[in-house]
Amino acid sequence: MKKLVFLFVLSAGIVGNLYSQSKNSKPEFLKLRKSEWVDSVMKTLTPDERIAQLIMVAAYSNRGEEHKQEILKLIEEQKIGGLIFFQGDPASQVELMNEYQAASKVPLLGAIDAEWGLGMRLDNTISYPFQMTLGAIQDDELLYKMGVEVARQVKRTGLHMNFAPVVDVNNNPNNPVINYRSFGEDKYNVADKAIAYMKGMQDHKVLTTAKHFPGHGDTDTDSHYALPQINHPRARLDSLELYPFRRILKAGIGGVMVAHLDIPALDSTGVPSTLSKPIITGLLKEKLDFEGLIVTDAMNMKGVTEGNLPGVVDKDAILAGNDLLEFTEDVPKAIEEIKKAVDAGLISQKEIDRRVRKILAVKQWVGLDKYGPLSTDNIIEDLNTSKAQLLHRSLSEASLTVLKNDNNIFPVKGLDTLKVASVSLGAETTTSFQKTLELYAEVSHFVVPVDADENAVSEVKEKLKDFDLVIAGIHDQSKYPRNTLKLSEPALELISDLSTGKNSVFSFFKNPYVLNKIDGIEDAAGLIVAYQDSEISQEVAAQLIFGGIGANGKLPVSVGDKFSSGDGLVVKGGIRLGYTLPEAVGMDSNILNTRIDSLMQQAMDAKAIPGGQVLVAKDQKVVFYKVFGEHSYFDTIRVKKNDLYDLASVTKISAAMPALMKLYDEDKFHLDGTLADHLPSFKRSNKADIPFTDILTHQARFQPWIPFWKDMLRKNGSYKWWTIKKDSSARYPIKITDEMYLHRNYPKKIVKAIRKSPLREKKEYKYSDFFFILAPKVVESRTEEDFSEYLQKNFYKSLGATSIGFNPDYPQNKVVPTEYDFSFRKEPIHGTVHDEGAIMLGGVSGHAGLFANANDLAKLLQMYLNEGEYGGKTYVEKETIREFTKRYFPDSDNHRALGFDKRRPNSKGIVNNTAKDATETSYGHTGFTGIMVWMDPEEDLLYIFLSNRVHPTRDNHRLYDLNTRTQIHQVLYEAIK
């Protein structure tokens, strides 16, 4: 026994030595306690007014005139020192603070609880991730940046002090008041994160307070409603709860907030720590050597008010050693009681003055010695900048924690082999998580509400059996990720059932502690913790699953016996397109949004186009993806992101060229080869010896085009009897319209017409469709596969580009119409290819016929920018991409690459087919229907412009006249910082 006692005393001695091993970095404001400004203010204050400087009352910007007058009365009559703002909106808060400051004898210190940013209290502001989410992040620099940004926002709303960060070590999963507000259970991680956040704020002149001293993490009572008791011995408190406080004090934090706690090991009297002289003066001031600002937790909380009278309790808090009283309920009474204590000798006037000087020094440090009112102009825009929003996204991405990834189930690969389903548990409708999954693959969605009964769950479970991969999102119905679980028993059984399979991925949008309440989830093949149910967390989790981004977060708390603090797998991302803000890749979102919107609106106002889709990606991240206008001028169908556009000649580089490049890799297509090598009927034609290098660069002397449909007409305008029939049949299978069917042999006549067409005299660049009409036959001659099926199998399906294809099988309200064809089809063209030659070939050709939305087309084009790779798969060899996309005859007037277009200066050196700042290595193509796509390898920049400028007639050239497409393209370069 004596030995044990000796060891305890020794350990206590070691702990005692920890306090004195190194001194704290003193808060900067302490240097100003005897400044000229502080001296001048002190001279103007009466004893009562000095006491009033120690008081901060609650203010709201959403409570109307009566509340405002109450605050003004306290300011004017009691001369209070500060305000802590709660609910409201930024503009109203600034206006009120301006008015309150104007009424105050001494500038008011303004504070706010902004643990996760202004969104904790104010409408129309950003809520950054909760601290437990941040605890998963491995890069503390991100928390510093958050501190910098929160400081900027706090100051913009007229305030100077943030009651943050929380440095409580949350080692009690059932903690009802700290929990997700803590950085976690690891004291080292808590300290590191808190210091980084604090420094970001204080480096930018916002005072912070470490809370809730001496540690509120291991409680199961909410101090708002009762006084929690912590019964740990002193040694445990010293080694765990107090550790982050010691660290952050040493790092120079300006303030500490004291909690309402009963801690017998520190004060055996049972009084709340807020009123405890042994805890505040004895421990915090003397042993921990803290000279900064000591603030009480709110003095209206039951944890301190129970059994204590207003005013008296405030006096006791001052006697215990606090400098600033937060949320005093009865200001006159508090001043009266503190004054009585001074008169009774319980505290000296000198000590009161010392604390007042400390508060005034803080006011000078935050700039209140040079106070000026703030403007509310553009305040919402100022608070919600793109930089601030990008930080939010970056924090959410960095927090993603992968706890299971059996057999590298994600990033998901082999999209062409998978039938994918998503199920959102705890949601009422399709979620942002599910909608983001759609960006990568075709996904069937299911929703299981919180209260789903057995029949509803059984129906979903049965349907899920048909899928190769099930992606489940587990959602929270609460604004805050509390340690609660409200899912019905059948819904929980579904989770457990899915977890037993090897084809299920879970993304958990709840407090990680809740994982311990779900049987078997630790057995799932894939498990991601996203910590909270925000729209951004859902979006980034979906991107992680398909490899748009990676993950390296670590679990900040233990989850029963299932997972330990620090668990987390590294998953590499960046194999597919990501979706983020322009600033993430060094582009200016304001330039992109305002100028592209303006140019599109100009085009729509001029009736150059009814609407369109514009997508911009840089560094394989989609940073601008918007839709504009309507399908036509005559209806009200708004353009949506999944609507299909007729790609016209962009089909050449989206269908013919990928197939030819793949065949080139396989030694089945040669650039020095000829049409005669692939199509026997061309062996004795005038085109037999022309090499593909000339053909693909449009210098093969081919005619530009032939209006094949006109060859079917008689002189009276009717069709020759054997060409077109009103009904389909074996001999007339090619559908032109519902009442026009073309003879099955007519495509051969098209080939024959091309074969027999005369060559142009001069070998020079002249754009021609001829070869690309023949391209499917060239491909089929080497693959013995249907051209369309070959492309789906080798490119589109595995890319996840599910909308790209010929003859789209989509409802008409999902396909944007093109022209009213008065000449050939005599009807509006809607859902079928616009090009007459392509429709006569059954809608499938190498020169026109493809439909797609911008997002799916981007996957194919990004593969080009990636020099043949996408989604972890090589489609075309790097050298082949380079060979086909370079300017092939640089010493000639021909600007073309092989199949691709290049920058084309005119005789005066002016480039007008693309942005003037596009690089020489850039390439792309345009389409007759109003399409433009362009890729710039040097900038890793992708641009897609989809429109239907031919609606209602191809004679509409306003899009060309306005030069909208290339003007928008130029905006991209100007947005690159």
Q: What is the CATH number of the domain that holds 85?
A: 3.20.20.300
Collect contacts of 276-284 with beta carbons under 8 A, ≥24 apart: 276/320, 277/319, 277/320, 277/321, 279/213, 279/214, 279/320, 280/320, 280/321, 280/322, 281/320, 281/321, 283/214, 284/213, 284/214, 284/256, 284/258, 284/321
Tokens, residue 864:
């080009």
**Residue for token pair 């819904």:** 491
| CA-based nearest residue to 620, from 810, 812, 861 | 861
Q: Could you tell me where the DSSP H helices lie in 429-534? A: 432-437, 454-464, 489-499
Q: Residue 22: what pLDDT?
A: 59
Q: Do 562 and 635 share a domain, yes or no?
A: no
Q: Do 142 and 287 share a domain, yes or no?
A: yes
Q: Do 229 and 372 share a domain, yes or no?
A: yes
Q: How many H-runs (helices) and E-runs (strands) does the chain carry?
A: 34, 30
Say if CB 736 and CB 825 are below 8 A apart.
yes
Q: Residue 851: what pLDDT?
A: 98
Q: Is 691 among the domain residues?
A: no
Q: Do 358 and 416 share a domain, yes or no?
A: no
CATH number at residue 441: 3.40.50.1700
What lies within 8 Å, CB to CB, of 683 at 6+ separation is: 676
Q: Residue 977: what pLDDT?
A: 74
Tokens, residue 458:
């059984």
Q: Do 406 and 362 share a domain, yes or no?
A: no
Q: Is 765 among the domain residues?
A: no
Q: Could you tell me whether strands 611-618 and 621-629 are parallel, antiparallel, or unpaired per DSSP bridges? A: antiparallel
Amino acid letter for position 533: D
Q: Do 307 and 418 share a domain, yes or no?
A: no
Q: Residue 8: what pLDDT?
A: 35
Quote the number of domains for the chain.
3
* DSSP code, position 113: -
Q: Is 711 among the domain residues?
A: no
Whole-number average pLDDT of the chain: 95
Peptide bond into 905 cis (omega under 30): no
Segments of the chain with pLDDT less than 50:
1-21
Q: Could you tell me whether strands 504-508 and 469-474 are parallel, antiparallel, or unpaired per DSSP bridges? A: parallel
Instruction: Identify the domain containing residue 922 by its residue range.
Output: 594-616+625-670+785-975
What lies within 8 Å, CB to CB, of 7 at 6+ separation is: none
Neighbours of 652 (CB within 10 A): 25
Q: Residue 55: what pLDDT?
A: 98
Q: Do 275 and 364 share a domain, yes or no?
A: yes
Q: Do 347 and 462 share a domain, yes or no?
A: no
What lies within 8 Å, CB to CB, of 759 at 6+ separation is: 686, 687, 700, 701, 702, 703
Q: Do 429 and 346 share a domain, yes or no?
A: no
What are the beta bridge partners of residue 946?
613
Q: Is 532 among the domain residues?
A: yes
Last residue of a domain, one of 322, 352, 382: 382
Percent of the chain with pLDDT over 90: 92
Instruction: Quote the pTM value.
Output: 0.94
Q: Is 825 among the domain residues?
A: yes
Tokens, residue 515:
């994982």
Last residue of a domain, one of 382, 411, 443: 382
Tokens, residue 647:
């790609």
Q: Residue 634: what pLDDT?
A: 87
Collect contacts of 591-599 with beta carbons under 8 A, ≥24 apart: 591/971, 591/974, 591/975, 592/616, 592/623, 592/624, 592/971, 592/972, 592/975, 593/624, 595/968, 595/971, 595/974, 596/624, 596/626, 596/968, 596/971, 597/626, 597/628, 599/964, 599/967, 599/968, 599/971
Q: Is 661 among the domain residues?
A: yes
Q: Do 536 and 639 share a domain, yes or no?
A: no
Q: Is 608 among the domain residues?
A: yes
Q: Do 109 and 165 share a domain, yes or no?
A: yes
How far is residue 549's CA from residue 440's CA, in Å, rounded to a whole number? Answer: 12
Q: Do 942 and 802 share a domain, yes or no?
A: yes
Q: Is 894 among the domain residues?
A: yes
Q: Residue 5: what pLDDT?
A: 40
How far is residue 544's CA from residue 410's CA, in Å, rounded to a whole number? Answer: 8
How far is residue 507's CA from residue 495's CA, in Å, rounded to a whole number? Answer: 11
CATH number at residue 601: 3.40.710.10
Tokens, residue 491:
């819904």
Angle in degrees, 0-180, between the axes of helices 187-202 and 243-250, rounded to the nearest 10: 30
Q: Residue 4: what pLDDT?
A: 38
Q: Could you tell me whether strands 850-852 and 645-646 are parallel, antiparallel, or unpaired per DSSP bridges? A: antiparallel
Neighbours of 906 (CB within 10 A): 9
